[in-house]
Amino acid sequence: MERKFTILIADDDPDIFPLIRDILAEGDYRLLSAGSGEEALGVMDRDPVDMLLVDYQMPGMDGLDLLLATRKRHRDVKVCMITGYGSVDVAINALQAGAVDFFQKPFSVPALTARVAHHKRLWDLARENLLLKKQAGVFLTLSDMVGNSRPMRRLKNLLERAAASDANVLIKGETGTGKEIAARCIHSLSARSAMPFVAVDCASLSETILESELFGHEKGAFTQAHTAHVGLARAADGGTLFLDETGEMPPALQSKFLRFLQTREVRPVGSAKSYPVNIRVVCATNRDLAQEVEEGRFRRDLYYRLHVVPVATPPLRECREDIALLASHFVHRYCVRNAVEKKLAKETILCLERHSWPGNVRELENAVHRAAVLSDGPQILPGDLPSEILCGAAQPAAHPPDEGLEKPAGDSMEDYERAAIMNALKKSSGNRNRAAEILGIGPATLYRKLQKYGLH
């Protein structure tokens, strides 16, 4: 029998439990009660509890003390504080200490039911996420990193070891090498896997907006701050905060982020208060941060804080034996999404393996996706690939060029492609089907290219 979302109501007023029980009667909840903080701790020690509704004012152990004790002994329990009318300071103190919500007496029935239902939905999602990972096995995300080459095996082993600790991780690698996937692997293999994974792109935001996105802001903190924003660092509480392109972080924000790493406290823009967070920090960069430090563009102390566990994602040119496996993986994913059947021709795989792939796995994925879209039949032929890959693959040809063939009019890829089509037509004496075979493309694709270059 599936366990219900369990709520423990801790209040010394005997009328509160039946009141809340009646309000939440239509929800699918299991409700428990406790008349004191000490009794509530005893209940949580004996029984699985998912949410604690606790009154701030109780004799003996008050609500704040119970909140702090719960955070230490039962970290998965979400604590909501019950306060008297107008006790704003109490609510703020509770949120700073780790409460996820607060409710005022007298209760607003719609507000109470809606917010409890919201926390249950989050609980349902976390359980579903954890169940899927258990069903798929511990290597769910590592298997997403397709590749059996030695550099990839070394990377997967390092990710497993990094996930076992809670230390800061710095992932270094060229653009398109899968740094975010590596970060998600670390999160999924860690003890924090059931909690949020929050990603921030430091390169896409200005300094002011990036600070607000990370740490949040109060209403009216700046011109566009029409409402308060909790910030992504607090949204990741309990989980992993991933900062992509960390080398792009402005110098002024570097010092604030360093302080955050030291204190694990967030101070929203425009606020005088700080909020504790419990997160794992994983950063990624395609820059040489050590060189950036030497040239004065990145703080040395921040670099050492981040560079606790270094991880390097290898470029695709160092994993050539994985190219065919990766390309087939991308084709399969395309076929599943579009309910079609396609496969790579052997000649196409050879073209892919000869290309230098300066854009790494991301470039390979885009090229294969494009080829799958443009291919006419069940086979993806070399001519379906982008022209720069086709031309690059043609360079190591075993046979010398025939005399009298057309030469490219310029250096663009279109010039080379046009010349290749004209030469195929010459070799086939104008037979378009034969020319398509020479080019390794389908007749319909050749027809489109003839129209494109005005050769029809």
In this prediction, residue 456 carries a pLDDT of 66
The more confident residue out of 16 and 446 is 16
Q: Work out the average pLDDT over 24-37.
A: 91
In this prediction, residue 85 carries a pLDDT of 56
In this prediction, residue 140 carries a pLDDT of 44
Structural domains present in the chain: 5-133 (3.40.50.2300), 137-314 (3.40.50.300), 316-397 (1.10.8.60), 399-456 (1.10.10.60)
Considering the entire predicted model, what is its pTM?
A: 0.57
Q: Work out the average pLDDT over 406-424.
A: 74
In this prediction, residue 129 carries a pLDDT of 62
pLDDT value at 33 more than 90: yes
Instruction: Identify the weakest region by mean pLDDT among 217-231, 293-307, 403-417.
Output: 403-417
Which token pair is 163?
Answer: 């996930």
Among candidate residues 175, 177, 161, the one with its CA nearest the CA of residue 322? 177
pLDDT bucket at 392, cuts 50 / 70 / 90: low
Measured CA to CA in angstroms, residue 254 lies from 56, 215, 260, 293, 411 at distances of: 38, 13, 10, 12, 44
In this prediction, residue 271 carries a pLDDT of 84
Measured CA to CA in angstroms, residue 222 lies from 202, 217, 218, 393 at distances of: 20, 9, 9, 54
Q: What is the pLDDT of residues 75-114, one digit of tens each?
A: 778 999 888 755 667 777 888 788 888 888 888 888 889 9
pLDDT value at 363 more than 90: yes
pLDDT bucket at 395, cuts 50 / 70 / 90: very low
pLDDT bucket at 410, cuts 50 / 70 / 90: low
The set of residues, in sequence order, having a beta carbon less than 8 Å from that of 436 and lying 6+ positions away, is 383, 424, 442, 443, 445, 446
The more confident residue out of 413 and 386 is 386
Q: What is the pLDDT of residues 201-219, one digit of tens each?
A: 998 888 878 888 899 888 8
Instruction: Give 60-126 as a DSSP string.
Output: SS-HHHHHHHHHHH-TTSEEEEEE-TT-HHHHHHHHHHT-SEEEESSP-HHHHHHHHHHHHHHHHHH
In this prediction, residue 401 carries a pLDDT of 43
Q: What is the pLDDT of residues 303-326, one digit of tens each?
A: 999 999 999 999 999 999 999 999
pLDDT bucket at 144, cuts 50 / 70 / 90: low
Between strands 169-172 and 265-266, the pairing is unpaired
Between strands 265-266 and 101-104, the pairing is unpaired
In this prediction, residue 121 carries a pLDDT of 84
pLDDT value at 132 more than 70: no
Which token pair is 285?
Answer: 């960069």
Residue 162 DSSP one-character state: H
Instruction: Identify the weakest region by mean pLDDT among 56-65, 106-115, 290-299, 384-393.
Output: 384-393
Measured CA to CA in angstroms, residue 182 lies from 141, 286, 296, 332 at distances of: 9, 14, 28, 22
CA dist 295 and 276 (Å) reads: 34
Among candidate residues 146, 138, 231, 214, the one with its CA nearest the CA of residue 181? 146
Which token pair is 362?
Answer: 């991301």
pLDDT value at 168 more than 90: yes
pLDDT bucket at 400, cuts 50 / 70 / 90: very low
Most confidently predicted of 60-74, 132-146, 275-289: 275-289
In this prediction, residue 229 carries a pLDDT of 82
In this prediction, residue 6 carries a pLDDT of 93
Give me the residue label for tokens 């996820």.
100
Instruction: Identify the weakest region by mean pLDDT among 54-63, 198-207, 441-450.
Output: 441-450
pLDDT bucket at 10, cuts 50 / 70 / 90: very high
